[in-house]
Amino acid sequence: MTVNKYIATPSRTKEILTKYNFSFKKSLGQNFLIDTNILENIISHAGIDKNAGAIEIGPGIGALTEQLAIHADKVVAFEIDQRLLPVLQDTLQPYSNIQIIHQDILKANVSEVISSCFSQEQPVHLVANLPYYITTPILLKLLHDNLSVESFTVMIQKEVAERMAAKPNSKSYGSLTIAVQYYTEAEVVMHVPKRAFMPQPNVDSSILKLVRREKPPVQVHNETFFFMLVKASFAQRRKTLRNNLVNHFKPDWDKETIVQLLEEAGIDGNRRGESLSIEEFAVLANAFYSAVNNNT
């Protein structure tokens, strides 16, 4: 198949959309990539080779799926829009190493799919142009599910990518940063112009690469409590850590108790959540969790 026949070109994309009289659904956040060079860059950053298995979410008309099929051993793609199933059957017909699963990724048992579709020793990477309206729930579900996936290379809204890869003391740093970096090492690897999509989105896009950590960078007594405390610490960004935690834990604990626990953790309550490293949040959460258990 020659390059000018690839799906990810404006002319081929228009041809496919016309053939199937396809109309974009805003509710599904459908923006199709029409630049093969960008797709090849994504594949390269993802570390896909002929030994690898690839998982895709929202293949659309198959632009990224096609490139994954060329470079990977096998591709499994989840598509929620039933209208696209016959389109994908047509556009991806030349490739025998693709499996399309008609399912909502938020309801899918991805671990089961990985174990049944890929060999145990095979490296598996998730690569996707994610629908922007639901990026965060998808990624957090996949991270919490502790999948046997080496990396996640995803096209997402630039602002969200920056939040996930942020450093302390930056305006992008928040509870989402901590949640993502607890499980992975995050890096924004490239930005993508709006003209690379059909239709063009209203927001700028970036490619975020998340490499799965062998183990979290910190030890916490209870993960659920840790993430809850982190979220509470950012409830109102302009408020101090002490004030946010007082608001969260009232009426169970009074201000004096919160101040005492902050002192025991060695954290200045006048700081704001954005100034704390993940290590400091772990110390803080462990101190508070121990206090909760001692009171029960």
| 210-232 residue pLDDT tens | 999 999 999 999 999 999 999 99
From 1-15, 47-61, 243-257, the region with the lowest mean pLDDT: 1-15
- The yes-or-no verdict on residue 30 having pLDDT over 80 is no
Residues of the chain with pLDDT > 90, as a percent, come to 88
Strand partners, 76: 55, 99
Decide: 141 and 106 in contact? Cβ < 8 Å. Answer: yes
58 labelled ligand-binding: yes
Residue ranges and CATH numbers for the domains of the chain are 3-212 (3.40.50.150), 223-295 (1.10.8.100)
Maximum C-alpha span of the chain: 71
The reply, when asked if residue 269 is annotated as ligand binding, is no
Q: Was 41 annotated as part of a binding site?
A: no
Strand order in the sheet with 151-157: 98-101, 74-78, 53-57, 124-129, 151-157, 205-212, 184-192
151-157 and 98-101 beta bridge pairing: unpaired
Report the percent of the chain where pLDDT is more than 70.
96
pLDDT, tens digit, 9 for 90 and up, residues 192-207 = 999 999 988 888 999 9
To the question of whether residue 33 is assigned a binding role by annotation, the answer is yes
270 annotated ligand binder: no
Helix then strand count (H, E) for the chain reads: 12, 9
C-alpha distances out from residue 178 to 128, 164, 293, Å: 22, 8, 24
Cα separation, 242 vs 294, in Å, equals 21
> pLDDT of 95-125, one tens digit each?
999 999 999 999 999 999 999 999 999 999 9
